[in-house]
């Protein structure tokens, strides 16, 4: 099996590659060779190891997005400034490679000057979502380590805002005093209670967090309930602060099934309309758009 | 130099001992043998190593407060429930020791059932503050890793609330994506800007935090300014959420010179009156109160 072209999603902690043909996805592969684990010289070997079996006798175009294009990545693809289309023909940055079997282009991220904000990788998912939902006007939410909310109008990202929600969860669960009281497992009522508390009193987050610890000590809050409530508290605080983004607008959610389901449920009472898309589908669709533009340019 | 009795402040990461005579403090010593670094059998040797030179031919009473009395500490001193005096004669827990030269008593912490909250060590500082300011009626704030706000009336702790402020700062500065953009140094205007932002929009904390990173990337926010603003954001969010505690009341601040000065400045515009006390002075005064009760009991 050879690829006509290869889509690559290359983040801080992961590397995922997709072998593409005219009919769509042919194969996929992944490794933990994320940006953070590689020196500058390590990117090309890590990529070739993953995709070598897909390379034919000719030259295979590789299109990548994510932190691979950051200053600490393989090759810096300077941010484009919003308002702008999420991904534009000709905007991808051509990266010199040693292996003659591939060419490589990296999608640039987006930046916003006031309030300052940046994204890398999500712009490609947004572009993909807009090919899957042409003419979409509303807000796109990409929950995750750094959750993004982007206002979309007339095919452009008008503005966006990032929340440290997922990273905060990991910091608290892995490194804080709360870790002593958390356990795996899912407790839906505890999540809902946390969500309500976080949404209603987001300004009390620093106190709500310590209360989780105190309830574990003196009220024997079970570890799974504490973990689920922590998740609810943080997502609730994000939704409260992002209210101006989603209120009364249709919301497209892009992410893992699990996270988009949580956000959809939390938003369903108040957002005009929510729909969820898979992050992988959107990444591939976004890079396919750029690849299509490439092949048109080659015609 | 021998001690009549010994005051011990034993927290998660530190052990501090004070040799006391009738005239007050005679000597002090410290080590990093905090609770977290010790197994149950390690406490007594760690204490004796630090205080051996102060022990005379008789039996020297040792009075300790802090996490040493937690379930993970040397010996559990069960929480007392508020409302109650911060530290009470007869409430200290006698701990069996092997060394015949000392007796050991540990001050119990305080708990509050709704909203759930706990303190260990701060109750002793509060007791000390009340001996230094008899009849104080207002709120005592103890900024730090887990900042505490306690309402004091008629010599009792009526209620209290803990904020994860200091620990959150350490988590973000040491473990989060923000660490790449922080540097040592103090930038007062940046702290003030963060303080105002945190106080005015505490519900936006998760977004304000990511903005620090984005400004570092695209607006070249200097590292010292980013670190100072982070400190301001978190303290501002705490003050906003603690507003019901301090509004219009006199505030006694107990902590390091640096932290109490920051909180005093932040509160001065709105709290009725703020005064700062050294945490060490308060700890010693609190344990001295208990020691005085002991010696009266021995008469």
Report pLDDT digits (tens) over A211-257. 999 999 998 899 999 999 999 999 999 999 999 999 989 999 999 99
Is the Cβ of A163 closer than 8 Å to some Cβ of chain B? yes
Domain that holds residue A109: 5-134+283-298
Q: Do A206 and B172 touch (CB under 8 A)?
A: no
Q: Is a pLDDT exceeding 70 seen at residue B294?
A: no
Query: What is the least distance, in Å, from the CA of B3 to any CA of chain A?
Result: 35
Q: Nearest to residue B63, comparing CAs of B49, B81, B77?
A: B77
What tens digit of pLDDT does each residue of A39-50 get? 999 999 999 999
Q: Is residue A111 included in any domain, yes or no? A: yes
**Neighboring chain A residues of B117 at a CB cutoff of 8 Å:** 210-211, 214
Using alpha carbons only, give the angle B239, B209, B260 rounded to the nearest 5 degrees: 35
- Mean pLDDT, chain B, whole residue set: 94
What was the pLDDT predicted at A257? 94
- Segment B198-210, tens digit of pLDDT: 999 999 999 999 9
Question: Which residue in the block uniquely carries the two structure tokens 């200091």?
Answer: B166
Report residue B293's pLDDT band, with 50, 70 and 90 as the boundaries.
Answer: low
Query: What is residue A220's predicted lDDT score, i.e. its pLDDT?
Result: 87
Do residue A211 and residue B116 have CB atoms under 8 angstroms apart?
A: yes
pLDDT at A269: 72
Residue A102's DSSP bridge partners are A60
Q: How far apart are CA A201 and CA B240, in angstroms?
A: 12
For chain A, say whether B218 makes contact (Cβ under 8 Å). yes
Find, among A103, A59, A90, the residue nearest to A294 by Cα.
A90
For residue A188, pLDDT beyond 80:
yes
- Given an 8 Å threshold on Cβ–Cβ distance, is B207 in contact with A79? no
Count up the domains in chain A and report the number: 1
Residue A54 in any domain: the answer is: yes
Give the pLDDT confidence score for residue A103 in this predicted structure: 97
A163·B113 Cβ contact <8 A? no
Contact call for B203 and A206, based on CB within 8 A: no
Position A219 in a domain: no
* Contacts of residue B244, Cβ cutoff 8 Å, sequence gap at least 6: none
Confidence class for position B219, pLDDT limits 50, 70, 90: confident
- Confidence label for A298 from pLDDT (cuts 50, 70 and 90): low
Please report the pLDDT score of residue A219 as a whole number. Answer: 86
For B143, phi and psi rounded to 5 degrees? -70, 150
CA separation for the pair B152, B158 (Å, rounded): 6
- Percent of chain A at pLDDT > 90 equals 90
* Region of residue B169 (phi > 0: left; psi between -120 and 50: alpha; otherwise: beta): alpha
Residue A213 counted as domain residue = no
Cis peptide before A185 (omega within 30 of 0): no
Of A111, A116, A177, the CB nearest to B211: A116
In a domain, A27, yes or no: yes
Lowest mean per-residue pLDDT among A96-110, A238-252, B23-37, B268-282: B268-282
**What is the pLDDT at residue B296?**
59
Cβ–Cβ below 8 Å for A240 and B203: yes
For residue A238, being part of any structural domain is answered with no
What is the helix (H) or strand (E) element at residue B75, kind and residue range?
none
Mutate to test the interface with B, among A207, A220, A231, A244 (most CBs of B within 10 A): A207
Given an 8 Å threshold on Cβ–Cβ distance, is B219 in contact with A113? yes
Above 70 in pLDDT, residue B290?
yes
**For residues B263-292, average pLDDT:** 90
Residues of B in contact with A199 (CB under 8 A): none
Which of B112, B203, B215 comes nearest A203 by C-beta? B203
CA distance B270 to A281: 53
At residue B9, does pLDDT exceed 70? yes
Average pLDDT over residues A123-149: 97
Residues A81, A90: Cα–Cα separation, whole Å? 15
Is A240 an 8 Å CB contact of chain B? yes
Does B220 contact A at CB distance below 8 Å? no
Among B118, B171, B214, select the one facing A117 at the smallest CB separation.
B214
Does residue A109 fall inside a structural domain? yes
In the predicted model, what is the mean pLDDT of residues B177-196? 95
Determine contact: A164 vs chain B, CB below 8 A.
yes
Give per-residue pLDDT as tens, B166-186. Answer: 999 999 999 999 999 999 999
Specify the CATH number for the domain of residue A106.
3.30.420.300
A163 and B215 within 8 Å at the Cβ level: the answer is no
B108 SS3 class: coil
Q: Are B194 and A151 in contact (CB under 8 A)?
A: no
- Mapping DSSP onto H, E and C, the string for chain A reads CCCCEEEEEECCCCEEEEEEECCEEEEEEEECCCHHHCCHHHHHHHHHHHHHHHCCCCCEEEEEECHHHCCCCCCCCCCEECCECCCCCCCCEEECCCCCCEEEEECCCEEECCCCEEECCHHHHHHHHHHHCCCCCEEEEECCCCEEEEEEECCEEEEEEEECHHHHHHHHHHHCHHHHHCCCCCCHHHHHHHHHHHHHCHHHHHHHHHHHHHHHHHCCCCHHHHHHHHHHHHHHHHHHHCHHHHECCEEEEEECHHHHHHHHHHHCCCECEEEEEEHHHHHHHHHHHHHHHHHHHHC
| In chain A, % of residues over pLDDT 70 | 98
Instruction: State mean pLDDT over A124-143.
Output: 97
- In this complex, the residue of A165, A176, A204 whose CB is nearest that of residue B167 is A176
Strand (E) or helix (H) holding B25:
strand B24-31
Rounded mean pLDDT, A163-184: 96
Structure confidence at residue B171 (pLDDT)? 97
Q: Is residue A264 part of a domain?
A: no
For residue A293, pLDDT over 90 is answered with no
Chain A CA closest to residue B209:
A164
Put simply, whether A122 touches B (Cβ < 8 Å) is no
Q: pLDDT grade, residue A296 (50/70/90)?
A: low
User: What is the structure's pLDDT at A15?
Assistant: 97
pLDDT given at position B272: 73
State the average pLDDT over residues A49-68: 97
Q: Is B177 on the interface with A (CB under 8 A)?
A: yes
Task: Report how far residue A204's alpha carbon sits from residue A198's, in angstroms, rounded to the nearest whole number.
Answer: 8
State mean pLDDT over B17-35: 95
Average pLDDT over residues B217-241: 95
């Amino acid at each position: 099996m050879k690829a006509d072209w290869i889509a690559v999603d290359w983040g801080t902690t992961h590397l995922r590659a997709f072998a593409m043909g005219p009919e769509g996805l042919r194969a996929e592969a992944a490794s933990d060779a994320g940006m953070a684990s590689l020196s500058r010289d390590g990117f090309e070997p890590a990529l070739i190891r993953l995709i070598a079996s897909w390379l034919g006798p000719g030259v295979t175009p590789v299109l990548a997005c994510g932190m691979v294009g950051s200053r600490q990545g393989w090759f810096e693809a300077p941010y484009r400034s919003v308002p702008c289309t999420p991904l534009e023909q000709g905007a991808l940055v051509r990266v010199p490679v040693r292996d003659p079997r591939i060419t490589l282009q990296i999608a640039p991220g987006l930046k916003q000057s006031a309030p300052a904000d940046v994204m890398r990788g999500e712009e490609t998912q947004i572009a993909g979502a807009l090919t899957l939902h042409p003419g979409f006007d509303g807000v796109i939410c990409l929950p995750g380590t750094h959750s993004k909310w982007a206002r979309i109008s007339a095919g452009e990202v008008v503005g966006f805002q990032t929340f440290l929600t997922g990273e905060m969860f990991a910091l608290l669960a892995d490194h804080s005093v709360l870790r002593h009281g958390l356990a795996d497992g899912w407790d839906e009522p505890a999540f809902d209670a946390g969500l309500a508390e976080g949404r209603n009193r987001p300004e009390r987050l620093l106190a709500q967090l310590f209360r989780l610890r105190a309830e574990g000590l003196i009220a024997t809050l079970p570890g799974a309930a504490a973990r689920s409530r922590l998740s609810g508290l943080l997502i609730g605080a994000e939704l409260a602060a992002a209210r101006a983004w989603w209120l009364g607008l249709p919301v497209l959610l892009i992410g893992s099934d699990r996270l988009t389901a949580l956000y959809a449920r939390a938003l369903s009472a108040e957002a005009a309309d929510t729909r969820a898309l898979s992050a992988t589908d959107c990444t591939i669709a976004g890079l396919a758009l750029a690849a299509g533009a490439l092949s048109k340019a080659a015609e």
